[in-house]
Amino acid sequence: MKLGHRRGILVAAFWAVNATACGSTFVPPSKLGPARQDASWPAYLGTPRHDACAAESLNTDPRPLWRTDVGRAVRGSPAIGETIIVAGAADRIVALVDRATGQALWRTRVAGTIHGGPLLEGDRLYVATEATPDARVYALRLRDGHSLWDTKTESISAPLALDGDTLYAGTETGLVLRLETSGGKITWRRRLPGAIRAPPVPTAAGIAVATTADTLYLLDRGTGQVRARLPTPGTVLGGPALVTVEVRQAGGIVAMVFQGTLEAGPYSVVWDGRAPTGPAPAGSYEVVVRAADELGESSQSASFELAPG
């Protein structure tokens, strides 16, 4: 039986084992990975919409293709390229695995435990560590795991977010960081109340960040200043998904609410804003929220009154 394992639907079982700590000095691996991947993994679960698998299908009789050991306790989502998978483990290991065979290509040890999972873009990987013992953000060379740069931070357990040439990170002490991907330079910092356990979400209007203080913030991309905030009914621990919200009247779209965030579980808009094209006319509107999760795309409608101005 032929089993497909295309991007987005591949389920990789990483078995937990006790690993022996190795030295921190980089040692060239015996097996090399590819020089680059065309398929990127710039966000938690693959895309800001969490829809990496939306166009895929699963074999009706799925069976394991392979299994491999990469370290102790893989806690974050692996990053998936066309030919490789990369995972981070609690014993400070980043491991590159051949997607077709499960063969480990290389393993690199970093300064702290990994909780949020790595990101993949072109010829490099990005990963953040907790403060056990040393919190840092790393850029690693895809081919051999060599560290291209690392930047000391506070403890990070939330996944990173990649947006073009910029990385966003949120720490367990509520610090949001914007870093340059070219060399790891921090361009701004913004302290928020509460810990950050969910990944930041880049949107057209700014960076959406949820904290354990039961608040969702919108930060300015250029400065990190707080542009808006919204109380949430509870602590957001999972990664918010990016959705498109359409405002309709009499069956026609009259305005686009640029982008918002959607909590996991029953769909509910927790923050939104008007499009740069200007306000819609006052009146009764229907909001159509389209979102994708691991099972595909769903939609939900609600009505509201839009006041003049």
Give me the chain's average pLDDT, please.
75
**In this model, does residue 274 exceed pLDDT 70?**
no
Contact 70, 226 (CB under 8 A): no
pLDDT at residue 28 in the model: 63
Both tokens of 22, joined, read: 């190795």
Its sign, for the CA torsion 144, 146, 151, 153, is positive
**What are the structural domain ranges in the chain?**
1-152, 166-238, 241-306
**In this model, does residue 67 exceed pLDDT 80?**
yes
pLDDT at residue 42 in the model: 95
From residue 293, alpha-carbon distances to 87, 241, 285, 302 in Å are: 21, 8, 26, 20
Phi then psi for residue 169, to 5 deg, are -135, 145
CA distance 95 to 70: 6
Q: Out of 3.10.20.30, 3.40.50.360, 2.60.40.10, 2.40.10.480, which CATH number does the structure's domain 1-152 have? A: 2.40.10.480
Instruction: Provide the CATH topology of domain 166-238.
Output: Thrombin, subunit H (2.40.10)
For the segment 221-249, the average pLDDT, to the nearest whole number, is 73
**In this model, does residue 26 exceed pLDDT 70?**
no
For the segment 148-171, the average pLDDT, to the nearest whole number, is 96
What percent of the chain has pLDDT above 70?
A: 68
- What predicted TM-score, i.e. pTM, was given to this entire model? 0.74
CA distance 81 to 99: 8
Q: Which of the 8 DSSP states describes residue 233? A: S
Reference 79, options 142, 20, 17; nearest CA is: 142
**In this model, does residue 16 exceed pLDDT 50?**
no
Per CATH, 1-152 and 166-238 having the same topology is answered yes
Which residues make Cβ contacts (< 8 Å) with residue 131, sequence separation at least 6? 112, 154, 155, 172
